[in-house]
Amino acid sequence: MRRSAAPSQVLGKVAKKPRFIPPGKSNAVCPKIETEEMDQDMKLKEIGEKHGNVSLFSEMFGENKNENFTQSVESSGKVKSTKVWNSTSKCSKLEMKTQNVPKADAMYLPTSGMAKEAAAQEEPDCLTKYFSVMWCKASKKKHKKWEGDAILITKGKSVILKDMEGKDIGRGTGYKSKELDSLEEGQTLMIGGKEIEVMGVISADDFSSGRCFQTGIATHDTVPTALPQTTMKQFCKPIKSACQPSTKENILLNSQSRKPRHNPNDANSLVMPRPNASHQCTFNKAGLPVVDVVVDPYIANNLRPHQREGIVFLYECVMGMRVSGRFGAILADEMGLGKTLQCISLVWTLLRQGVYGCKPVLKRALIVTPGSLVKNWKKEFQKWLGSERIKVFTVDQDHKVEEFISSPLYSVMIISYEMLLRSLDQIQAIEFNLLICDEGHRLKNSSIKTTTALTSLPCERRIILTGTPIQNDLQEFYALIEFVNPGVLGSLSTYRKIYEEPIVRSREPSATKEEKDLGEKRAAELTRLTGLFVLRRTQEVINKFLPPKKENIIFCQPTALQLELYRKLLSSHVITSCLQGRLENSPHLICIGALKKLCNHPCLLLKAVKEKSCDPKSDEHVESSLYEGLTDVFPQDYTSDIFSETDSGKLQVLVKLLAAIRELSSSERVVLVSNYTQTLNILQETCKRYGYSYTRLDGNTPVSQRQQIVDSFNCKFSPAFIFLLSSKAGGVGLNLVGASHLVLYDIDWNPATDIQAMARVWRDGQKHTVHIYRLLTTGSIEEKIYQRQISKQDLSGAVVDLSKTSEHIHFSVEELRNLFTLHENSSCVTHDLLECDCMGNKDHQNPSSQKPSVSRCCQLRQDQGKHNLKKPLSMSQLMQWKHFSGQHQALPDPFLERIKENVSFIFQNVTNPTSPTQ
Ligand SMILES: Nc1ncnc2c1ncn2[C@@H]1O[C@H](COP(=O)(O)OP(=O)(O)OP(=O)(O)O)[C@@H](O)[C@H]1O
Ligand SMILES: [Mg+2]
């Protein structure tokens, strides 16, 4: 029976593309095989399969052990291997060589250290070669049934056979090197109980990049490796289609004048690239005229250059022009780059136009987004298209999905993830031609309800939008790719074997040179493949359009009360036992929580103490033990309800800062961010005390009111001076350009939370110089968290996921010791760690520090690791910032000058210092 040709060949991935010859008909004479020997070989195969497979490099070059496997083989006794060679000359008969092979331990590469060396000596400097092959179980039948494609690796006298998922399915040694060396197309070979036939040679590069395993991805010949220039005006008249069937429709359409909807020759026009001939043949069977798709100038005139490129990219993806037969894309631009506008441009273009006979590509588009952003999407549609061009439908309590179905007015539906789950049945019944998932990193887990629900929608054109780096966790990355372009990276097990395992292994400190090389090549290949439909640009592309940003890390002196309470907590029995490694039930997390509360304000700690003492079950709890004797430290009349700002170092600084902003730039406004509702209550109370008008958005704010709160704050005439924001509630997607000062009152373990919050203000639409203030209590746990945040090691892990909290962090006792140390005699422990000798008088910054201060690495980045300097990257960036001690004579920043009394140290960085402001 014939089987279809190997996928690797069909897709043209193999360097040499041999003709497929079924085994029965090959020029190889059916080998004469001794049954007994064959059975032995079969046994070996079974043993091999039973004990799993180890990676190629570990086996081939003897890096890893597989004791079980070796033992089993050894116990199988004397085994014979059968080799069948097919002479290259057509007429020559197959020469059958059956030899007594070596004992099992000689047949399989040795796994112990000494044996490894022996193997290496045995095969000095042998070239490793790679072949694409077909395999089947060895049999005497004339007409064999090939069972699959495989990759054959030969080195010296050894061979390894891998299936297309990268798993080992056969191995052997004791072959003649000369014969393996001259292996070529059409030749057959016995490996274990399998017969293989060589189909072609694979280059070392194709193997090490993993490309030879890739069967699910075929790109169109014309897919550009770099993004195309966006102004493409070479087309103006409709051209004849590459396929010209003379259907009635075709004749009719050709007879009509089919003009592009907008003039492709206009200055600043944005014209989509035309599909190539193969695309036309596949998607334009009717042979309709090919007409230029031109983005409406109404919207195109406002686009930034990176947005024009992004729209072309999205267009090519959803039209199936970048990867054959795939219509998905991931737009992973950093926060604030206008992913919304890029999608709106695409949707609007495709709802009105189509390259084949002007027929619109989309009838209906579905946008799924977090609840807090539903209204923002509608607003952005109106902002960029006006309300007369398009009517979009937002699903909420008062506007049900049925209304969308029954009304002919709407072609775009915007719905929250939660609402989608509730109305899934109705949504499934609607035919959407494009699905956009905003903040789509939530689909990183393929088993969660949302992902399953969205996957069930029968829509092939899928776009994920996310501002979060997505390549840090390779399994999550796979899930996102799988959602937009199912099957494009093969099965999960293939992906793991070919990409994830070698890449992860190569990053481990104990990786060998070969493993490092292989991991790097696989990472590069994965980046190349996914780069066809994943696009990420960083903030830098937009920086030049943004006003200056002054980022300040402000180290606030703790008050006497804070210090006393801090010492008392550190001397508690709970903390001492944590430092002895007793961490069952995570008492350290309670300790960390208490210290953080204390840093924000002592009254928060007292509140917790009181609540605990009212708790009838408190005796059992570590918390009550931690708080023991604390109330005695508080002044006698101290209450948790009435607080004084003079008891918290950070609050003192904040009060002065707000007063300075009010006085020095009365028209400017402030966003005050905290992770805790209770802290926000204190900040709110402070606003009241000083008569500052404020507005507030936290987890309790109904989703339906959020956009309105944001809009009225951003409005020029808003009376609110302060926007109180819970970073967890309002982190993603919000736009708070109405404010130009942002204070991060407390610090989160996860840098992503803080980065997200900061990006709300310094984004497109901001007209003033932006001031960011991050307040940290000097010498306290907050400094440690900051150091941890900026260390590269943590960035690559923790930055990925906003949901990751301290509960997900594993602390060693050593780390806890560091966390639970109070540095009372330092004005800035972080500066001490930098070993900078400026004494807090460095009022210049290195130009390189004007780039965004926090680098976000991804696992796939090839150069990762090469910058492995003694100090982590971001620490060394901090070195380039301005350093001011609290004693600095005259700070160049008027706001900082006003607060310096309670400040022990400041790091400052200015980005875009010369950008214009209003
Ligand atoms: N070309 C432009 N000109 C002016 N303003 C723009 C432009 N593009 C986008 N904006 C504005 O920039 C702000 C940020 O855009 P948007 O919300 O789409 O960013 P995003 O990439 O989705 O970021 P996030 O990841 O934070 O959601 C919005 O107010 C948007 O209207
Ligand atoms: Mg967004």
Instruction: Please report the atom of ligand 1 found closest to the CA of residue 737.
Output: 29
* Residue 412 Cα to ligand 1 middle (Å): 19
Residue in the block written with tokens 């492995």 = 868
Q: Is the CB of 156 under 6 A from ligand 1?
A: no
* Residue 711 Cα to ligand 1 middle (Å): 15
- Give the mean pLDDT of 84-112: 30
Higher local confidence (pLDDT), 355 or 732: 355
| pLDDT of 573 strictly over 80 | yes
The pick from 303, 330, 337, 732 for probing ligand 1's pocket by mutation, whose C-beta has the most ligand atoms within 8 angstroms, reads 337
Q: Is the CB of 763 under 6 A from ligand 1?
A: yes
Least confident of 82-96, 184-198, 494-508, 653-667: 82-96
Read off the pLDDT band of 219 (50, 70, 90).
low
Q: Is the CB of 341 under 6 A from ligand 1?
A: yes
Residue 346: burial class (beta carbons within 10 Å; 0-12, 13-18, 19+): buried
* Residue 459 Cα to ligand 1 middle (Å): 26
Largest CA distance in the chain: 107
Residue percentage of the chain with pLDDT more than 70: 75
- Domain residue ranges in the chain: 7-213, 248-537, 547-552+649-911, 560-626
Higher local confidence (pLDDT), 689 or 791: 689
CA distance 353 to 689: 58
- Give the mean pLDDT of 890-916: 91
Q: Is the CB of 733 under 6 A from ligand 1?
A: yes
Q: Is the CB of 357 under 6 A from ligand 1?
A: no
* Residue 335 Cα to ligand 1 middle (Å): 8
* Residue 755 Cα to ligand 2 middle (Å): 14
Taking the CA of 738 as reference, the closest ligand is: 1
CA distance 880 to 213: 45
Higher local confidence (pLDDT), 220 or 899: 899
* Residue 789 Cα to ligand 2 middle (Å): 24
Return the closest-CA partner of residue 554 out of 773, 722, 396, 719: 773
Residue nearest atom 9 in ligand 1 by C-alpha distance: 338
Residue 698 CA to its chain's centroid (Å) = 27
Fold entry, domain 547-552+649-911: Rossmann fold (3.40.50)
Least confident of 259-273, 416-430, 478-492, 572-586: 572-586
Whether 725 contacts 672, CB under 8 Å: yes
* pLDDT, position 849: 57
3-state class (DSSP) for residue 773 = strand
Residue nearest atom 3 in ligand 1 by C-alpha distance: 302
* pLDDT, position 234: 39
> How does pLDDT run across 750-794, given as a tens digit for each residue?
777 778 888 889 988 899 999 999 999 999 999 999 988 876 433
Q: Is the CB of 760 under 6 A from ligand 1?
A: no
Q: Which H or E element spans position 148?
A: strand 148-155
Read off the pLDDT band of 423 (50, 70, 90).
very high
Instruction: Please list, residue by residue across 93-119, b when 16 or more beta carbons sit within 10 angstroms of its beta carbon and e when fewer do.
Output: ebeeebeebbebeebbbbbeeeebeeb
Least confident of 115-129, 365-379, 883-897: 115-129
CA distance 600 to 785: 14
* pLDDT, position 737: 95
- Give the mean pLDDT of 504-523: 89
Residue in the block written with tokens 């399969």 = 49
Q: Is the CB of 764 under 6 A from ligand 1?
A: yes
CA distance 767 to 545: 10
Read off the pLDDT band of 106 (50, 70, 90).
very low
Q: Domain 248-537's class?
A: alpha beta
3-state class (DSSP) for residue 159 = strand
| pLDDT of 52 strictly over 80 | no
| pLDDT of 110 strictly over 50 | no
- Give the mean pLDDT of 718-726: 95
Return the closest-CA partner of residue 450 out of 459, 463, 460, 441: 441
| pLDDT of 67 strictly over 80 | no
Return the closest-CA partner of residue 290 out of 269, 271, 307: 271
Instruction: Please list, residue by residue across 868-889, b when 16 or more beta carbons sit within 10 angstroms of its beta carbon and e when fewer do.
Output: eeeebbbbbbbbbbbbbbbebe
Taking the CA of 758 as reference, the closest ligand is: 1
> How does pLDDT run across 24-48, given as a tens digit for each residue?
333 332 333 233 333 333 332 332 3
CA distance 268 to 232: 10
Least confident of 309-313, 360-364, 809-813: 809-813
| pLDDT of 220 strictly over 70 | no
The pick from 347, 546, 713, 763 for probing ligand 1's pocket by mutation, whose C-beta has the most ligand atoms within 8 angstroms, reads 763
Residue percentage of the chain with pLDDT more than 90: 48
Q: Assess whether the region 248-537 and the region 547-552+649-911 belong to the same CATH fold.
A: yes
Residue nearest atom 30 in ligand 1 by C-alpha distance: 338
Q: Is the CB of 275 under 6 A from ligand 1?
A: no
> How does pLDDT run across 272-317, given as a tens digit for each residue?
999 999 999 999 999 999 999 999 999 999 999 999 999 999 999 9
Q: Is the CB of 304 under 6 A from ligand 1?
A: yes
* Residue 539 Cα to ligand 1 middle (Å): 12
- Give the mean pLDDT of 676-686: 96
Q: Are strands 95-99 and 81-85 parallel, antiparallel or unpaired?
A: antiparallel
Q: Is the CB of 337 under 6 A from ligand 1?
A: yes
Whether 737 contacts 765, CB under 8 Å: yes
Q: Is the CB of 518 under 6 A from ligand 1?
A: no
Mean residue pLDDT of the chain comes to: 78
| pLDDT of 190 strictly over 50 | yes
| pLDDT of 80 strictly over 60 | no
- Give the mean pLDDT of 639-659: 94
Instruction: Please report the atom of ligand 1 found closest to the CA of residue 373.
Output: 27
Q: Is the CB of 827 under 6 A from ligand 1?
A: no
Neighbours of 554 (CB within 10 A): 27
* Residue 306 Cα to ligand 1 middle (Å): 12
Residue nearest atom 15 in ligand 1 by C-alpha distance: 338
CA distance 873 to 854: 9
Instruction: Please report the atom of ligand 1 found closest to the CA of residue 334.
Output: 25
* pLDDT, position 843: 82
Read off the pLDDT band of 806 (50, 70, 90).
low
Whether 873 contacts 861, CB under 8 Å: no
Token code pair at residue 701 = 């704010």
Number of helices (H), then strands (E), belonging to the chain: the values are: 39, 24
Residue 521 CA to its chain's centroid (Å) = 19
Instruction: Please report the atom of ligand 1 found closest to the CA of residue 335.
Output: 25
CA distance 413 to 394: 6
* Residue 738 Cα to ligand 1 middle (Å): 14
> How does pLDDT run across 524-559, given as a tens digit for each residue?
999 999 999 999 998 888 888 899 999 999 999 999
Taking the CA of 732 as reference, the closest ligand is: 1
Q: Which amino acid is residue 34, in one-letter code?
A: E
* pLDDT, position 340: 97
Separation of first and last alpha carbons in the chain: 76
Instruction: Please report the atom of ligand 1 found closest to the CA of residue 383.
Output: 31
Instruction: Please report the atom of ligand 1 found closest to the CA of residue 467.
Output: 25
Any residues with CB less than 8 A from the CB of 889 and at least 6 apart, and which? Answer: none
* pLDDT, position 509: 80
Token code pair at residue 834 = 């930098």
Read off the pLDDT band of 208 (50, 70, 90).
confident
| Sign of the Cα pseudo-torsion (66, 72, 78, 83, in order) | negative
Instruction: Please report the atom of ligand 1 found closest to the CA of residue 337.
Output: 21
CA angle 122, 127, 133 (to 5 degrees): 110
The pick from 303, 314, 334, 341 for probing ligand 1's pocket by mutation, whose C-beta has the most ligand atoms within 8 angstroms, reads 341
| pLDDT of 801 strictly over 60 | no
Instruction: Please report the atom of ligand 1 found closest to the CA of residue 759.
Output: 26
Q: Is the CB of 150 under 6 A from ligand 1?
A: no
| pLDDT of 87 strictly over 50 | no
Tell me how far CA of residue 173 lies from CA of 64, 103, 132, 163, 179, in angstroms.
18, 10, 19, 18, 12
